[in-house]
Amino acid sequence: MPWTSEDADKHVAGLTDSQKNAWADIANATLIECKKDGGSDCEGRALAIAAARVKQLGVVKINEEKRLVFGWAYVSKRATGEQVIDHSGEFIESMADVEDAVYDFVLESRETDDMHTEDVTGHLIECVVFTTEKMAAMGIPEGTVPEGIWTGFKLSEEAFAKVKSGERSAFSIFGTVERLEV
C-alpha cells in the first residue's frame, strides 16, 4: 500500500507537514525493501520504522498555544545504534564528546535565531544530552532513544509561524569544531 502524508496522522501524532512527507517516504521505501527481501509483516515493519525514524528528524512536537517547539537538535546514533552522518558528511561518535559545549550553551546563551542570523527568535526551555550512560542511569532500555541532544524552545510569533507552516522543520546548531579525517 503506498502511503501519503495524509496517512501519517493515523499512525503518528503531532507531526509537522514536512515530517508527514518524510514519514510517507520512509514507510514506502521500507515496504518496498522488505518485500524485495522476502520479509514478513512488511506493512507493520514499514509503519514501525517510519514512526521511529521520523521522530528523530528535527521538530517533533509543538504546542501552538504557548509557541513551544521540541525535538532533536542533533542525533549522533539512532536508537538502533546506527551512526548518523549529518548533511555535511560529518558525525559525532559519542555525545559525551560535545556535552561541555552543550552545557556552555545552556549556561551562557539559551537563545535561538533564524538561520544563524543575530536576531533572537526564541529561548531555550529544555535540553538533555542523551548519552548511553545517562540513559542507563535513567532506566531507559537500550535501543529505545537515540543518542543526541533533545531541546525545547519558546519562539516568537514570527518564528513559530515558520515552524507551523513547515518552512522551518529542524534545528541547526552553529559552532566550530576541529575536524578529524577518518
- If you average pLDDT over residues 22-31, what whole number do you get? 79
- 20 vs 66, higher pLDDT: 66
Residue 54: band (very low, low, confident or very high) from pLDDT cuts 50, 70, 90: low
Are the C-beta atoms of residues 46 and 27 closer than 8 Å to each other?
yes
Q: Is residue 181 part of a domain?
A: no
Q: Can you give the residue range of the structural domain that contains 111?
A: 61-173
6 and 50 in a single domain? The answer is: yes
Residue 168: band (very low, low, confident or very high) from pLDDT cuts 50, 70, 90: confident
Task: Report the share of the chain in percent with pLDDT over 90.
Answer: 20
- Could you tell me the pTM of the whole model? 0.66
Which one-letter DSSP state was computed for residue 72? E
Residue 124 pLDDT: 93
30 and 74 in a single domain? The answer is: no
What interhelical angle do 42-54 and 17-36 show, nearest 10?
Answer: 140
In the chain, the DSSP E strands lie at 59-63, 68-77, 111-113, 120-130, 147-155
In the chain, the number of structural domains is 2
Residue 163 pLDDT: 83
For residue 122 the three cell numbers come to 526564541
Which of 9, 40, 55 represents a domain boundary (last residue)?
55
96 and 70 in a single domain? The answer is: yes
Rounded distance, CA 53 to CA 23, Å?
A: 8
Q: Is residue 33 part of a domain?
A: yes
78 and 32 in a single domain? The answer is: no
* pLDDT tens track for 126-166: 999 999 999 999 999 888 888 999 999 999 999 899 888 77
pLDDT at 57 over 60: no
Q: Is residue 118 part of a domain?
A: yes
Residue 20 pLDDT: 79
pLDDT, mean over the chain: 82
Q: Is residue 182 part of a domain?
A: no
Residue 55 pLDDT: 58
Are the C-beta atoms of residues 131 and 31 closer than 8 Å to each other?
no
In this structure, what are the phi and psi dihedrals at residue 15, rounded to the nearest 5 degrees?
Answer: -85, 150
- If you average pLDDT over residues 66-91, what whole number do you get? 81
- If you average pLDDT over residues 82-96, what whole number do you get? 76
Least confident of 46-50, 95-99, 108-112, 171-175: 171-175
For residue 21 the three cell numbers come to 512527507
Are the C-beta atoms of residues 124 and 110 closer than 8 Å to each other?
yes
Are the C-beta atoms of residues 49 and 25 closer than 8 Å to each other?
no
Contacts of 15 (CB under 8 A, 6+ apart): 8, 9, 23, 54, 60
